[in-house]
Structure formats: C-alpha cells, structure tokens
Amino acid sequence: MKKISSIIFIIFLAVFTFSFFIFSLSVKADELDDITKQINELQKSLQMSQAATTPLIATLDNLEAQIASIRANIAHLDEELDIKREEVAEGEKAFELKRQVMEDRVRSMYKQAYMQECFWCQIVTTDNFDAFIQNHGYHQSLINEDKETISEIVLYIRDLEEKKEQLANESARLAQVKIEVDKQAEFYRKEIKGAQDYQVQLGKEIANLTQRQQDLIAAKTGLFSTSVGTVPQADDPASRPDYNPGFSPAFAAFSFGAPHFKGMSQYGAFGRAKEGQNADDILHAYYGGGIEIKKDYSADITIQVDGYGGYNIEEYTKRIYEMPGSWGDEGGMEALKAQAVAARSYALARTNNGSGSICPTESCQVFKPEPKGGKWEEAVNATRGWVLMTNGQPFSAFYASTSGGYQDSYSYNGYSTPGFWDTKSGRSGWTNEAYEKIAGSPWFYKGWYKTRSGVSCGRSHPWLSAQEFADIVNAVIVYSAGGDTSGIFPEDVQSCFGGGDQPWGKERLKQEADKHGGGVSSVSSVSVLYSDGGTTAKVVVDGKEFDGQKFYKAFNLRAPGAIHLKSGLFNIEKK
C-alpha cells in the first residue's frame, strides 16, 4: 500500500512539475508578447511625437532666423543713429562757426537794405557814379549769398534731425517686433523641449523593455547577453568605444577579434604563457587533447619557399616572422615555443612533408630570408623536432592574432579542434577573463573604419549617426527578407572605391525595406544577444529582432566608407 502511495505521489509530482514547467513557459511567452506589444506601442508613440515635433522645430528655426535678422537690423540702425548723431553734432559745430559770420552778414544785409531804401540818397551823395553802381551790385550779391547759406544750414540740420528721428522710430518698432517674435519663439521652445523630454522618456522605457525582452529571449533560446567589460585598448584611439565622435546619438559596430578564429590565438597563447602555462598546455588548449605532439620529427625535410628556394625545416622555421620575439622577455617564452611548433607543423602539412612548396606571405605564413634570431631562434631550438600530428600526419596548425575570446572548431585529416571560450572560466569569463585580454591584444575589441591599406574614405572614426544606422537597418531588413539587394552597397562606393555601380540612396533603400515589413527612419535603442557558439546570434533594434549573422553580412554590404565588421562575434554600441 505504501509502495502504491509512493508511486502515486511520484506520478503526481512529475505531473505537477511538468505542468509548472509548461505554465512557466506560458508565462514567459505571455510576458514576451506583452513586452513586444508595449515596445511597438511606445515606438509608435515615439514616431508620432517625433513627426509632430518636426514642423515645430522648423517653425522655431524660422523664428530664430527672424530674431537673428531683427537683431542685425537693430544693430545696423543703432550704428546709423550713431552716425547721424555725429553728423548732427558736426553740423551744429559748423553752424556755430558760421553764426558769427552770418550775424555780421545779417547786420550788413540790413544796412544794405536800408541803403537800398535810400537808393536815390546814395546817388545824390556819391562822387563816383560808376563805383557806386559796382559797390551796390557787390552788396546785393552778398545779401543773396547770406540768404542761401542760412537756408542751407537750417535745412541740413533739419534733415539730419528728421532722419535721426526716423531711425529711432524704426529701431523702437523693430525692438517691439523682436519682443513679440521672442514670445512666439519661447512658446515653441517650451513645446519642443516638452516633446523632446517626452521622447527621451519614451526612449528610456523602450530601452528598459528591450533589455527585459532580450533577457526573456535569452532564457527562451539559450542565448545570453553581457556587458563588454574592461577590454584592452585598440591600437587606434578612434577605434575605441570611449572615442567621442562629436554628435549624439551615435552608433558603432565593434568586432571581437581579427582576422579569423581557428586554431591558436597568438595573443591568447601569450596570455596563457603569462599565466604560467607551458608550450604543451597551450598547444593542447587550442588544438585539443587528442592532438599528438611528436617531439622527434625528422629535421632532414627540405621546405621549398616560393621565390626563395629550399630550406631545411628547422632553418625555415627560424625565418618565420609571425610573433614578436620581444614577448620572450615579457613572460611569453612558452607562447613563442608554441608558435614555433605550430609554424613547423603548418609548413609540413602545407607542403605534404616537403613534396610541394609554400608561399612566403601571410596567405601561408610570413617568411623572410634572414633568420629572425633572438628569443624566436631560442624557441625554435628549444622545440627542435616538435610537430603536431593526427592520424600519422603533420597537422595543419592554423593560428591568428586574436579571436575575441572564442575559438572556432575546424577539421583537418579526420581530426577536429575544439570550439571553446578562450578564458580562465569558460563563457562566464568572457570578456573579463579572456587570455587575450590578459595579453592586452589591441584587436580584442575594435571598431574598424579603414581598409587594410589604410584607406578611410574621409572618415576619422567608425561612429554612425542615427540616420546612417537606420539606413543600415533598412539594408538588414531587405537582406533578411531575400529582397532585391542589387543597390544595397554604400552610397559613397563610387567616390571612395570607384566603379560604375548605382547604389541606392537612403530614401530608395527605405522604400525597398517598406516592402518587407516597414523601413525605419531613425533608431532609439539597440542591443545584441550572443550564442554559446561564439557568434552574435541576434541584434535587437527598437524591439525588432534580426539574425546576427544576416545583420553582420548586411552591415558589411551597406556601411559607409570602409567601416566594417571583422567577424560574426560583434557588438553594437550607442552613445
């Protein structure tokens, strides 16, 4: 009886647990749906508010322009008034100087007038009639000249006073107009400020809900989100996340690592060496526990190097320039030894034990005819005859500078390397405990905006405006939907890279995106979710989810200039 009761209890518990699990999934699904709806509603409200604010901003700009013009006119009128005041003052001085002369001439004019009244008296009393007539004509001309001088000065001063009064009246009128326009502008300023504050609040709510949405998606799909943490500084200050582009909002894409993520990370090996790991530890970490490190491989094999002839395998390895020899003096001697083994193994596998040839560039591995010497040669000598082996053959040991904290798996000759988080504590240690961070790799987290040859297409940093980033999102929408992508490449492709292609402008691309669920004009929030397999799995833009790898490809197609992502493990930052 007790046994039956126990069985019933176990069944009940199993049913209850299963029901609770289903209920929990249902709750999460319902909450996710609710949050998605809220984000959509808030996004609509934000777009409506932005649309309503746009004409207000245009009106305010017009009013501000009017105010600036009125201020300029008032300033000009004040200058004119000052000039007129100076002219009036100068005229009054001239008038004062001439006043005495005028008084004398007035007295003279009255005397002459009197004399004219007694014209016949003068004729009777004159001794020289001709002289009298000549003198009378002269005095008459002085009288006329005095009249004209008095009239001119009086009229000049009166004209100046009238103009001064007109200027003063116009300045007063404009000052009153400015007060009225200022009142209108202040009204619009308050309205716009209120709308923009509301939009900022909406943006914060969208960001908070998006984070919750991201957490729910992560819980549902097995993805995860993380802060970038403190990462090594990139080798270009403009490529770092703390760079100030001079505008906001601004968006930038940052790659974890470059150029590929297979085999050994050179900076990771350096970090592991600093942590006390030896060459064996490092090689087994990157190439797997099933790899054999044969330590007595024949040194009699000759490696043919394109353009340089043949070298004994050990002499060849001494001429490989793939890792700084200085690391040997910085705690990285074991990393140099691991690199020597990887380089030797790669050359043997590439040439099939010397039966073929190998190129001298990084397309294979960098070779120079002079031995590198120093710590590198010490590492080569210390690992003489060490070769990575699988199934009885040298293993093609890939390696690269920086993986960004995750190593991809790859296969060769029937053997596969592991895929793993290259940190001290697995995924939970990314990015704060990555071995590449310990080594200080400048490519661990970087925004790329130049080509390999240094061409930047006129850009001095990788940051994009909200409109530029929205344009890329429209490209992602079109690309993800499998739509026409014939014009999806950058608008500046012709001026920067040449060619006769016809890229779509922003409006055309938005129209194409509208055909596939609706394009965007601006972006408020963006976040990413990572997969446990070392890729960016999803990019969430204002609540809209995009496949991370499709985003990666569309970004590299559409991003302006030489801005690009180096890998499928990336982050998008906003400031």
Domain boundaries, the chain: 36-221, 237-255+445-574, 264-439
Question: Number of helices (H) and strands (E), helices first, in the chain?
Answer: 13, 18
Gap between the Cα atoms of 26 and 31, Å rounded: 8
The architecture (CATH level 2) of 36-221 comes to Orthogonal Bundle (1.10)
Q: Digits of tens for pLDDT over the chain (575 positions)?
A: 434 344 333 333 333 333 333 333 344 456 766 776 777 677 677 777 777 777 878 777 777 787 788 778 777 767 776 776 777 677 667 666 666 665 665 566 555 555 555 545 555 555 555 655 666 566 667 666 666 766 677 677 777 677 767 777 877 887 787 787 778 878 878 888 888 788 777 766 776 676 666 566 655 556 787 778 888 999 999 999 999 999 999 999 999 998 889 999 999 999 999 999 999 999 999 999 999 999 999 999 999 999 999 999 999 999 999 999 999 999 999 999 999 999 999 999 999 999 999 999 989 999 999 999 999 999 999 999 999 999 999 999 999 999 999 999 999 999 999 999 999 999 999 999 999 999 999 999 999 999 888 889 999 999 999 999 999 999 999 999 998 888 888 877 777 776 656 789 999 999 999 999 889 998 989 999 999 999 999 999 998 899 999 999 999 999 999 999 999 999 999 99
| DSSP-based three-state secondary structure for 432 | coil
> Are the CB atoms for 388 and 395 separated by under 8 Å?
yes
Please report, for residues 279, 288, 333, 533, the alpha-carbon distance to residue 412 in angstroms, rounded to integers and kept in the order given. 21, 13, 28, 20
Spell out the alpha helix ranges (H) of 366-524. Answer: 374-382, 435-439, 466-480, 493-497, 506-514
Query: Within a 13 Å sphere around the CA of 227, how many CA atoms are in the beta-carbon half?
Result: 3
CA 354 to chain centre: 49
Dump the DSSP string for 244-309.
--SSSSEEEEEESSBS--BSEEHHHHHHHHHTT--HHHHHHHHH-TT-EEES---S-PEEEETTTE
* Closest listed residue to residue 444, CA positions, set 571, 320, 309, 542: 571
Q: Which pair of structure tokens corresponds to residue 420?
A: 């793993």
Residue 572 bridge partners (DSSP): 253
HEC states along 315-372? HHHHCECCCCHHHHHCCCHHHHHHHHHHHHHHHHHHCCCCCCEECCCCCCCCECCCCC
Gap between the Cα atoms of 185 and 331, Å rounded: 66
